[in-house]
Amino acid sequence: MAPRFLVMVILALPAAAAAPPTAAAEVKAVFLYNFTKFVDWPPESFPAPRSPIVIGVLGSDPFGAVLDQAVAGETVNGRPLEIRRFANLADLEPCHILFISASQEKHVPVILRRLDRTGTLTVADMAGFAARGGAIEFRIEDGRMRFEISREAVDRAGLRVSSRLLNLASTVRPRSP
């Protein structure tokens, strides 16, 4: 376990060097991982029954090794978890969850448009991300990490989110009538 962990740390080094992870980044990484347990993706989004759930990070990576650690060796519903990092929209490949880094703020409308109806759960910690059409937006409330879920965005992505997750959300943006 330890050598493998070391390898992953080394692979993640350039991103980590760019922005050292904070306690908030750590919590976000765990949340990203936990979202996989409360979201049902359509079966056609997986090429095979054992295909991994892919968590993508677009733009500059705020997590470093923390995200890799959070998902290392874990499986959800029998599927392994995979972290992929994309520098810009041009590199983007299909993901199940995509964390859009704050560095991509100005590209958000393009990104969202690009991901429309692709079965991708979009997550970001930019203020007003949910209002702009993102699915989940991290925010700090009373010094604690909380999140807002946009049911409309989730529906449009073709995903089903557990009511228990909705229950935990600080704000739920209702479906469009």
Partner 1 sequence: MRRRFAGLKLGTKLLLVITGTSVLALSLACAGFIVYEIAAFRARAGRDMDLRAAMLAAGGAPALAFSDEKDAMKTLALLRADPHAASAQFYAGDGSLFASFVREGAREVPPPRPASDGHVFSWERQTTASGVYLAGRRIGTVVLTRDLGEMRRSLAAVLSISFVLLLGSSLAALAIAARLQRVISEPILDLTRAAEAIAERGDYSSRVAARGGDELGVLVAAFNEMLAQIQRREAALRDSRQRLALLVESAPLGVIVWDLDFRVLEWNPAAERIFGYPPGEARGKEGTFILSGRVWTAQARAVWEDLLARRGGARFTNENVAKDGRSIICEWYNTPLVGAGNKVIAVASMVDDVTERKRAQDELRSLTDQLERRVAERTAELLALNKELETFCYSVSHDLRAPLRAINGFSSLLLANYSGRLEPEGKAYLARTAAAARRMSEIIDDLLDLSRVTRTAMKPVPVDLGALARDVAAQLQAREPERRVEVVIDECAPVLGDPNLLRLLLENLLSNAWKFTSRTAAPRVEVRARREAGRAVYSVRDNGAGFDPAYADKLFKPFTRLHTEAEFAGTGVGLATAARIIERHGGRIWAEGAVGRGAAFHFILPEP
- Does 5 participate in binding partner 1 (rule CB under 8 A)? no
Q: How far is the CB of 85 from partner 1 (least distance, A)?
A: 24
Residue among 3 and 49 whose Cβ is closer to partner 1: 49
Question: Judged by CB under 8 A, how many residues of this single chain contact partner 1?
Answer: 18
Stretch binding partner 1 (CB under 8 A), from 51-59, 81-89, 100-108, 141-149: 141-149
Q: How far is the CB of 56 from partner 1 (least distance, A)?
A: 20
Touching partner 1, residues 48-77 (CB under 8 A): 74, 76-77
- Does 118 participate in binding partner 1 (rule CB under 8 A)? no
Ordered DSSP codes for 96-157? SEEEE-GGGGGGHHHHHHHHTTS--EEEE-STTTTTTT-SEEEEEETTEEEEEEEHHHHHHH
Residue among 143 and 177 whose Cβ is closer to partner 1: 143
CA distance 20 to 12: 11
Residue among 35 and 129 whose Cβ is closer to partner 1: 35
CA distance 64 to 14: 8
- Does 172 participate in binding partner 1 (rule CB under 8 A)? no
Amino acid at 68: D
- Enumerate the β-bridge partners of residue 172: 149
DSSP 31: H
- Does 164 participate in binding partner 1 (rule CB under 8 A)? yes
Touching partner 1, residues 25-44 (CB under 8 A): 27, 31, 34, 36-38
28 contacts 125 by C-beta, under 8 angstroms:
yes
Quick one: which of 93, 106, 144, 174 contacts partner 1 (CB under 8 A)? 144
104 contacts 92 by C-beta, under 8 angstroms:
no
139 contacts 146 by C-beta, under 8 angstroms:
yes
Please report, as ranges, the residues that interact with partner 1 according to CB under 8 A. Answer: 27, 31, 34, 36-38, 74, 76-77, 144-147, 162, 164-165, 167-168
